[in-house]
């Protein structure tokens, strides 16, 4: 069975999954445009996150030596691009960026100020609990006196309990504040599983399964108990080897619960 035949016969019950290093595309075969989500997951850690290959962070601390090297680099770029006016304007206190940086990227000071506004992801999972339910859970074995009740129905005002979200996906995972105790994972990098000393094969496969399952549930609205009614086409790049393709096919069939699946490996000359 070739993918074109599956598209003609089961377009409405066929899910196309195209995982990549940066993004994962997923959608029904009948859709014109699939969902395109950053292929990453942020997991909450009890301890402070440690910098590793999974943390996509930049070292923003720059000393005088770094600033001098940066100035020299700007001068070299300006001379190569033949932009003599980069150093004409002197720095001012109200200017958010050095003149050379502002001129080089072609944005005005006001534009740089507007673009610097970033909405961080809310990492707190707020749940509402009544005081009565909390007391009952703590004093489940203790005797209660009904005459001491402070309200007619026995319920006290609701209290809000805050805790960290266990997992955050996609675009929201990329906007988590650096101070939050999360570790960012990218299961695929440069066309292969992102396996390293700090990122085991087991964790890579678990992250793939979790991200894809989240997209199927939240984006395509396919309930796990109904997945046996659907088939899948796994569209993979030519960089993946046979072992990696086998592992991803096992995730689709065994973990995600699709009834049938086919692998279509794309070459640079072909189009999806």
> Distance between CA 204 and CA 77 in Å, rounded?
40
In terms of pLDDT, which residue wins out, 90 or 244? Answer: 244
Confidence of residue 52 (pLDDT cuts 50, 70, 90): very low
Candidates 29, 18, 38, 30; CA nearest to 248 is 18
| DSSP annotation of 64 | H
Instruction: Please name the CATH architecture into which domain 1-37+191-271 falls.
Output: 2-Layer Sandwich (3.30)
Confidence of residue 207 (pLDDT cuts 50, 70, 90): very high
Question: At 260, phi and psi to the nearest 5?
Answer: -140, 160
Candidates 156, 170, 172; CA nearest to 124 is 172
pLDDT at 227 over 90: yes
Q: What's the pTM value of the predicted model, to 2 decimals? A: 0.63
> Per DSSP, what are the bridge partners of residue 266?
237
Please state whether 95 falls in left (phi above 0), alpha (psi between -120 and 50) or beta. Answer: beta
Q: Which pLDDT score is estimated for 151?
A: 46
Confidence of residue 220 (pLDDT cuts 50, 70, 90): very high
Confidence of residue 150 (pLDDT cuts 50, 70, 90): very low
| Mean pLDDT across 9-30 | 88
pLDDT at 148 over 90: no
pLDDT at 83 over 80: no
**Percentage of the chain modeled with pLDDT above 90:** 44
Q: Which pLDDT score is estimated for 134?
A: 45
| Mean pLDDT across 105-124 | 62
């Amino acid at each position: 069975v070739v993918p074109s035949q599956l598209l003609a016969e089961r377009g409405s019950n066929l899910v196309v999954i195209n995982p990549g290093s940066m993004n994962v595309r997923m959608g029904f075969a009948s859709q014109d445009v699939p969902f395109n989500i950053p292929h990453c997951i942020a997991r909450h850690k009890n301890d402070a996150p440690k910098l590793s290959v999974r943390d996509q962070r930049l070292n923003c601390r720059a000393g005088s030596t770094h600033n001098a090297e940066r100035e020299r680099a700007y001068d070299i770029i300006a001379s190569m691009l033949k932009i003599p006016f980069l150093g004409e304007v002197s720095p001012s206190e109200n200017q958010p960026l050095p003149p050379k940086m502002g001129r080089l990227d072609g944005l005005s000071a006001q534009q740089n100020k507007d673009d610097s506004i970033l909405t961080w992801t809310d990492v707190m999972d707020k749940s509402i609990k009544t005081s009565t339910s909390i007391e009952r859970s703590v004093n489940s074995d203790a005797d209660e006196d009904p005459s001491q009740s402070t309200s007619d129905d026995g319920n006290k005002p609701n209290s809000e309990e805050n805790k960290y979200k266990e997992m955050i996906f996609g675009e929201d995972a990329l906007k988590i504040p650096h101070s939050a105790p999360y570790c960012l994972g990218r299961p695929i990098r440069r066309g292969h599983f992102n396996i390293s000393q700090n990122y085991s094969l087991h964790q890579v496969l678990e992250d793939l399964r979790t991200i894809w399952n989240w997209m199927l549930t939240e984006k395509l609205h396919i309930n796990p108990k109904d997945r046996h009614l659907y088939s899948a086409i796994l569209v993979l790049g030519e960089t993946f080897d046979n072992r990696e393709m086998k592992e991803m096919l096992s995730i689709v069939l065994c973990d995600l619960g699709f009834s049938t699946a086919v692998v279509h490996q794309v070459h640079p000359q072909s189009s999806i």
